[in-house]
Structure formats: C-alpha cells, structure tokens
Amino acid sequence: MPQRVVLPQTLEGKTILIAGAAGFVPSTIAEFYLNLGAKVVGLDNFITGSKSNIELLSKYKNFEFTECNIYEGLPNFKDLKFDYILSLASPASPIDFSEIPLEIMRVNSEGTLKLLELARDQKARFLEASTSEVYGDPEIHPQVEEYVGCVNPIGPRSCYDESKRFAEAMTMSFHRRYNVDTRIIRIFNTYGPRMRPNDGRVIPNFINQAMAGEDITVYGDGSQTRSFCYVTDLVDAIHNVLFSEIHTPFNCGNPDEYTIKKCAEEIIKVLGSSSKIIYMPLPEDDPKKRRPNLNKLQSISDYKPKVSFEEGIKRTAEYFKSLK
Ligand SMILES: NC(=O)c1ccc[n+]([C@@H]2O[C@H](COP(=O)([O-])OP(=O)(O)OC[C@H]3O[C@@H](n4cnc5c(N)ncnc54)[C@H](O)[C@@H]3O)[C@@H](O)[C@H]2O)c1
C-alpha cells in the first residue's frame, strides 16, 4: 500500500520559491502558501503573467518578488535557503505556441535546469508543473500516468508538449543522478480567476464571448472533449502531491468530461447569454479527448474536486467583470 499523504497544518518557518509567480495558477498557489504561513519568493518576467497578480501578493508581508527571466539566470539569493522550489513558469496557451515557441522551449528546458540545480545545491524539494499535453492525442482513455503518450514532435504544439516531456525527463534525471527530492504533476485544463481575458484558452474565450453577446467560436464540430478543473481544486491536488513521497508523475485535474460544444452551451446557459455557437476549422493536432484518471492521487490522499463547473464558471465570469 502506498504511504498516505500527511498534510502540514502550517508552513511557518518554511521558504518556497515559485517560478512564474505572476501567472494564473502560480499566483493562486503562492497565495495559498502565504496563507499557510510560508515565506514565498516569486520570480517572473511577465511574458504571460500580470503585474496585478504580484500587487495582490505584495499585500502579504512574507512575499518577495524579483523580476527575471529564469532561463537567463536566477537572482543571487544571498542567504535565502529554500525548502520547496515550484517550477511553474511557462506560457501555457495555444496562442502562445505560435507566437513565442522558442521562449516556451527555453523556459521548460534551460529554466527548469537552473531551478533543478538550485534544488540540488540547496537540498530543496522540487516540483515540476508538467501537463496533460505530454499525452498528446491520446490513444487510451481516460489517461493514466503509465501511458507514454502520442505526441507529434514537429507539430505546432510540439514546442510545449515536447519541452514539458523534456522537463519531466530532466526532473527524473536529477532525481536519479543527484537524489534530488522531486515531484511531477501533469495538470489537465484548469481555469479560474486571474486568467488573462484574452488568454486564448477555451474557458476565458467562451466566457468573454458569452458576456459580450458575441458568437462563441467552437473549433471543429465541438465533439472533442476536455475535463475542466477549477483552480482551487488544482491547488488542493498540487498540495497533496508536494507532500507525498512519490517521485513519478501524478495527474492533477477534474475527471468530469465535457464536449467542447456542451461546454459552450453550459456557459451560455449559466451566464444567461444570447450568444450563438459558430464553428471554425479544427487546428492541427488538436487532441480529440482528454480526461484524467485520478486513481494514483486518490490512492494516497483525500483529493476530490469540490467546485462544480457551473460554480466555477460563475466565479470566473465575476472576475472578468471586475476587470472591466
Ligand atoms: N492552466 C492550465 O490549464 C495548465 C495546464 C497544464 C499545465 N499548466 C502549467 O502550469 C504552469 C502555470 O500555468 P498558467 O496556466 O498559470 O499560465 P500563466 O501563463 O498564467 O503562468 C505562467 C507564468 O510563467 C511566467 N514565465 C514564463 N516564462 C518565464 C521565464 N522565462 N522567466 C520567468 N517567468 C516566466 C509567465 O510570465 C507567467 O506569469 C505552467 O507551467 C503551465 O505549463 C497549466
């Protein structure tokens, strides 16, 4: 039987480095750990992150921030000793894949390398944020962690998929070669407040189109599926993995599966919108289905997603309204 996770009640006295702290998921995790009493040091170059997320975190006296591009070199941390290093810096939206593919490849390879070297030198626990994209267009469903994926190494998504696969390989290599205390999470589609309204991912797109009464653009016939996780549920999953004793990857997400068409219809209904759905050509290599098998995480923890799709959509729409 695998060992059950014992979650700490407080992280007072612990110091956490979060690469990508200005981003959607990383700033939410940063706030969670600040509320647990940790000191959090954030790094970001704002390539897809937002200064408002850093302003929000700066209200906590235990938060420090340095603007830097992590693959060009980490700051001199002087006397700072990290207990945990969270490698969360990477653009993650398909619109970024065509605009900044080399930045994506460099942050997941050279950036992750620098963070792993720091974890090795400081004997810190290291967590790599990988993605369900490592499964590519999966041939098995739902996806289990043992599945090695079906990825096109030269397609338009490959800058992201393959660099995350490289990041996983490097994380395991540091664990095997230097005994670094590593964790890997494979995040499935996550949404919520603090996403960029023009992020290009499906949920912010649909919500903003629905709120504006514009046509909702579905790519393909809308029969492709995704499983959407609200961000606080993801934070809960990550927290469980960080405090597990297992080095191999964990799927993190919500197993409720929606076709993209159903997702658009639900958003129209929940937001009481008058938008109509229109159909556009499917982009190359768009995965046909995605759903996490969570047995591995649930065999060691009490993890269970709590926020329904309807509630998550309402909260995310409120956030986008507050920006206007
Ligand atoms: N949200 C999801 O559905 C999802 C799914 C799978 C994986 N992930 C992973 O989770 C992490 C966070 O994703 P997110 O959705 O919050 O995206 P995000 O773009 O909001 O956050 C990423 C942050 O990393 C920063 N960053 C990128 N390159 C950098 C560099 N070279 N130096 C310093 N900072 C840099 C960005 O400015 C941004 O603030 C990423 O690693 C992403 O690949 C997210």
Q: Check residue 3 and give its pLDDT.
A: 86
Determine the distance separating the centroid of ligand 1 and the alpha carbon of 23, expressed in angstroms: 6
pTM of the shown model: 0.97
Q: Give the pLDDT band (50/70/90) at residue 32.
A: very high
3-state class percentages of the chain: helix first, strand second, coil last, to nearest 5: 40, 20, 40
- Residue 129 Cβ contacting ligand 1 at under 6 Å: yes
In the residue annotation, 60 being an active-site residue is answered as: no
Tell me which of 25, 85, 231 to substitute to probe ligand 1's pocket, judged by most ligand atoms within 8 Å of the beta carbon.
25
Quick one: tokens of 8? 């700490």
**From the CB of 193, is ligand 1 less than 6 Å away?**
no
Q: What region does 138 belong to: left with phi over 0, alpha with psi -120 to 50, or beta?
A: beta
Residues 6+ apart with CB under 8 A from 308: none
Q: Rounded CA gap, 254 and 5, in Å?
A: 19
Predicted pLDDT at 208:
95
24: Cβ below 6 Å to ligand 1? Answer: yes
The average pLDDT across 192-200 equals: 92
The pLDDT of residue 78 is above 90? no
- Distance (angstroms) between ligand 1 centre and the Cα of 1 equals 34
Mean pLDDT of the region 295-306: 97
Q: With contact defined as beta carbons under 8 Å apart, do 297 and 255 qualify? A: no
Ligand 1 pocket, mutate which of 29, 32, 57, 90 (most atoms under 8 A from CB): 90
> Is the pLDDT at 299 greater than 80, yes or no?
yes
**pLDDT reported for residue 285:** 85
Please compute the mean of the pLDDT values over residues 8-19 and round it to a whole number. 97
Q: Which domains does the chain have, with CATH numbers?
A: 15-191+231-254+291-306 (3.40.50.720)
Look at residue 323 and tell me whether its pLDDT is greater than 80.
yes
Mean pLDDT for the stretch of residues 56-63: 98
Closest Cα to atom 2, ligand 1: which residue?
190
What pLDDT, in 10s, does the model give residues 249-292? 999 999 999 999 999 999 999 999 999 999 999 988 888 999 99
Q: Tell me what pLDDT residue 1 has.
A: 72
**Model confidence at 68, in pLDDT bands (50, 70, 90)?**
very high
Asked if 240 and 303 count as a contact pair (C-beta separation under 8 A), the reply is: yes
